[in-house]
Amino acid sequence: MDGKRSRPLIIPLDTREGWFTFVALIMMLYTISLFISVSLHEVLGHGLAAVATGGDFYAVYISPGSGYASLYIPEGISNAARAFVLMAGIMVELIIGSVIFFLVLPRLKGFITHLFGLVLSVTLLVHPSIYLFLGYYYTGGDTFKAARILGLLNNADAFIVAGLILAGVFVILISIAALRFLTGFREEAEGEGTRLLLMFWLPLIVLGVTSAFVSVVMLSSTEMTYALANAGILLLLISAGIILVPHLIEHHEKARPHSFDGKTVLAILAAFLVIIATWVGVFGPTESSAHGIMLHQPPLEAEAYYSDYSIGNVDLMVHSDGTVDVSIILRNMLDNSSSSLDEQLYNSYEDRPNWPYYVERSRYMALVMFGFTVEEAQYLSFETSQEVVRAMGEEYYNGRSCTTHLNFTWADTGLIPGVRQLGGDATTAGGTDEPTELLTFGFEDPWMLQGGYIDEVRISWESNLTLSYYSASNLEETHITFNRGGLAENSIGWKNIGYETSASAYSFIFRRALDT
């Protein structure tokens, strides 16, 4: 050892290497700022607003530029409160961004801290301003959802004017602040203001164009249109700022030389890598592949968000006293496009059904099946349990089964009031000299109204009863017989595999011998 200490890496700003370093730093600071702004939008915006209105915030996905919060908003709150939750993300960004730009930024003296404040102001002020009106034209946008709730979908002009004015004003103000800041470190020269602003805005332009290009390749048509429009408006506003602002201000201060300390550059690089690792490792690279963070189990009331009734079975048990046990069994399935975070939330309900929700769904289905009035359906009581549900030859556990008991009168050869005659020749109920009495009933497929069908229908009966007639017919009154699944002892069933080949209505006649 010669006893000499190594000299720290110093990169003067006013050199080619210095400006390359400057652009690289802005790109890293911009990515960090995007992550921060999305976090504020989702957590302090939507999440906090949902909790403040009596709801819940239970999962979140964050990436530089996009994210979403999984919320439960309780029933019964006003439309204004719902709209507040939806718009809270934009409002939080604009409020915090204004505080940083107008109050904090002027007090920042360090080069890196001031530069970071400028870049953070871009993501907290310009981006949400554009989203304010572009989100009106994007059906998944916060503005569109809030406007629909408030009945303002025909008032597009207000959102366009507000969003464009805010975005344009913020681009001009940030450009002025950036130019005043940067000219303090570089001697004034002809065209220098334009070049400095171009260097400041270049990372945003590059990332915006890159995002638009990626959207063309990977996103849906709606998301692609939004990304392209966002990039186009940003490019237009930034171009206007780069051209106009150098003519609006004069610089009189003597330039102060600045050099980048290698330790500072490494610190920013480390922060950038941490953000990238957090994004890719913790949250996932895209929303469609997100594993995100489930903060806690979602409330029972939120199960409806993950309930699509993908599978539905109807089980009936006919008793000799005329009682028919009707079990409606529902099971939700996720499609192949669901993210890992969706699967986490879905699986959290595996053993904890929201029974009041399923009871009401089953009540409505029973109303459609048997032609009850709304008032009659309200008197139905249900027993709940988790049962096996079947579809396409597969069995699935933890189906949500709700069972009600209907009482019919023997010798009543008419169908239940409100149910049309389902077709078929009921004379097959004869064929015996013994005195008998008949029990006749039927039901309609409640899924048919929604373009679906019951996956399986099973009906069983007590041993002292005889099934004299059964029919399964579709909307064209064509009888369905090929998918009965075989007539077992005291049981019969239908395994449906498609809308066109499934029955829309089922009818049955049972016979029992009279005591002589």
Confidence at residue 402, expressed as pLDDT on a 0 to 100 scale: 98
Asked if residue 374 is part of any domain, the answer here is: yes
Confidence at residue 215, expressed as pLDDT on a 0 to 100 scale: 54
Q: Based on the fold, state whether residues 187 and 316 are members of the same structural domain.
A: no
Asked if the model's pLDDT at residue 160 lies above 70, the reply is yes
Q: Based on the fold, state whether residues 368 and 244 are members of the same structural domain.
A: no
Q: Based on the fold, state whether residues 140 and 53 are members of the same structural domain.
A: yes
> Distance between CA 364 and CA 473 in Å, rounded?
22
pLDDT confidence bin for 159, thresholds 50/70/90:
confident
> Distance between CA 335 and CA 377 in Å, rounded?
32
Residues in Cβ contact with 394 at an 8 Å cutoff, skipping those fewer than 6 apart:
none
Q: Is the dihedral of CA 296, 297, 302, 304 positive or negative?
A: positive
| pLDDT, average across residues 8-28 | 74
Q: How many domains does the chain have?
A: 2
Confidence at residue 158, expressed as pLDDT on a 0 to 100 scale: 80
Q: Are 108 and 114 in contact (CB under 8 A)?
A: yes
Asked if residue 189 is part of any domain, the answer here is: yes
Q: Based on the fold, state whether residues 277 and 320 are members of the same structural domain.
A: no
CA dihedral 220→222→223→228, nearest 10 degrees, is: 120
Confidence at residue 229, expressed as pLDDT on a 0 to 100 scale: 84
SS3 218: helix
SS3 511: strand
Nearest to 341 by CA among 303, 289, 286: 289
DSSP 305: G
Q: Is 12 exposed, middle or buried (0-12, 13-18, 19+ CB in 10 A)?
A: middle
Confidence at residue 422, expressed as pLDDT on a 0 to 100 scale: 32
Confidence at residue 291, expressed as pLDDT on a 0 to 100 scale: 83
Asked if residue 389 is part of any domain, the answer here is: yes
More confident residue, 328 or 7: 328
Q: Based on the fold, state whether residues 258 and 319 are members of the same structural domain.
A: no
* End-to-end Cα, the chain, rounded Å: 118
Q: Based on the fold, state whether residues 51 and 120 are members of the same structural domain.
A: yes
> Distance between CA 55 and CA 146 in Å, rounded?
17
Q: Among 14-23, 36-45, 349-358, 491-500, where is mean pLDDT lowest?
A: 14-23
Among 237, 259, 294, where does a domain finish? Answer: 294
| pLDDT, average across residues 232-255 | 82
Distant-in-sequence contacts of 346-351, Cβ < 8 A, 24+ apart: 346/306, 348/294, 348/297, 348/298, 349/298, 349/300, 349/303, 349/306, 350/398, 351/386, 351/398
| pLDDT, average across residues 225-253 | 83
Asked if the model's pLDDT at residue 421 lies above 50, the reply is no
pLDDT confidence bin for 414, thresholds 50/70/90:
very low
> Distance between CA 101 and CA 129 in Å, rounded?
15
C-alpha triplet 378, 329, 322: angle, nearest 5°: 60
Q: Is 71 exposed, middle or buried (0-12, 13-18, 19+ CB in 10 A)?
A: buried
Other C-beta atoms lying within 10 Å of the C-beta of residue 106: 11
Nearest to 371 by CA among 321, 421, 410, 409: 421
Confidence at residue 1, expressed as pLDDT on a 0 to 100 scale: 47
Distances, alpha carbon 55 to alpha carbons 48, 50, 147, 300, in Å: 9, 5, 20, 12
pLDDT confidence bin for 128, thresholds 50/70/90:
very high
Asked if the model's pLDDT at residue 413 lies above 60, the reply is no
Confidence at residue 59, expressed as pLDDT on a 0 to 100 scale: 96
Most confident of 14-18, 137-141, 249-253, 501-505: 501-505
Query: What confidence tens digit (pLDDT) does each residue in 88-104 have?
Result: 999 999 999 999 999 99
Among 294, 322, 350, where does a domain finish? Answer: 294
> Distance between CA 225 and CA 231 in Å, rounded?
10
Asked if residue 481 is part of any domain, the answer here is: yes
Asked if residue 489 is part of any domain, the answer here is: yes
| pLDDT, average across residues 231-237 | 89
| pLDDT, average across residues 64-84 | 93
pLDDT confidence bin for 192, thresholds 50/70/90:
confident
> Distance between CA 141 and CA 348 in Å, rounded?
27
Q: Based on the fold, state whether residues 75 and 219 are members of the same structural domain.
A: yes
Residues in Cβ contact with 361 at an 8 Å cutoff, skipping those fewer than 6 apart:
307, 309, 330, 402
pLDDT confidence bin for 253, thresholds 50/70/90:
low
Task: Tell me the CB-side half-sphere exposure of residue 352, using CA atoms within 13 A.
Answer: 12
State which residues form the domain around 83: 10-294
Q: Which pTM value belongs to this model?
A: 0.83
Tell me, rounded to whole angstroms, the distance of Cα 93 from its chain centroid: 21
Backbone phi, then psi, for 467, in 5-degree steps? -80, 110
Asked if residue 5 is part of any domain, the answer here is: no
Q: At which residue do the structure tokens 């805010």 appear?
A: 166
Q: Spell out a b/e string for 32-50, using b for 16 or more CB atoms within 10 Å of the CB, else e.
A: bbbbbbbebbbbbbbbbbb
Q: To the nearest whole number, what is the mean pLDDT of the chain?
A: 84
Q: Based on the fold, state whether residues 269 and 346 are members of the same structural domain.
A: no
| pLDDT, average across residues 479-483 | 76
Q: Based on the fold, state whether residues 55 and 28 are members of the same structural domain.
A: yes
Q: Percentage of the chain surpassing pLDDT 90?
A: 50
Confidence at residue 354, expressed as pLDDT on a 0 to 100 scale: 94
| pLDDT, average across residues 433-455 | 84
pLDDT confidence bin for 53, thresholds 50/70/90:
very high
Q: Based on the fold, state whether residues 232 and 365 are members of the same structural domain.
A: no
Confidence at residue 126, expressed as pLDDT on a 0 to 100 scale: 96
Asked if residue 208 is part of any domain, the answer here is: yes
Among 247, 266, 294, where does a domain finish? Answer: 294
Give me the DSSP letters along 321-339. TSEEEEEEEEE----TT--
Q: Based on the fold, state whether residues 127 and 231 are members of the same structural domain.
A: yes
Residues in Cβ contact with 497 at an 8 Å cutoff, skipping those fewer than 6 apart:
392, 483
Query: What confidence tens digit (pLDDT) does each residue in 203-218 have?
Result: 888 877 776 666 555 5
Q: Based on the fold, state whether residues 40 and 168 are members of the same structural domain.
A: yes
pLDDT confidence bin for 309, thresholds 50/70/90:
low
Query: What confidence tens digit (pLDDT) does each residue in 322-353 have?
Result: 899 999 999 988 776 678 888 899 999 999 99
Query: What confidence tens digit (pLDDT) does each residue in 273-303 have?
Result: 999 999 988 898 877 777 889 999 999 999 8
Q: Among 78-82, 121-125, 258-262, where is mean pLDDT lowest?
A: 258-262
Asked if the model's pLDDT at residue 3 lies above 80, the reply is no
Asked if residue 2 is part of any domain, the answer here is: no
Q: Are 403 and 325 in contact (CB under 8 A)?
A: yes
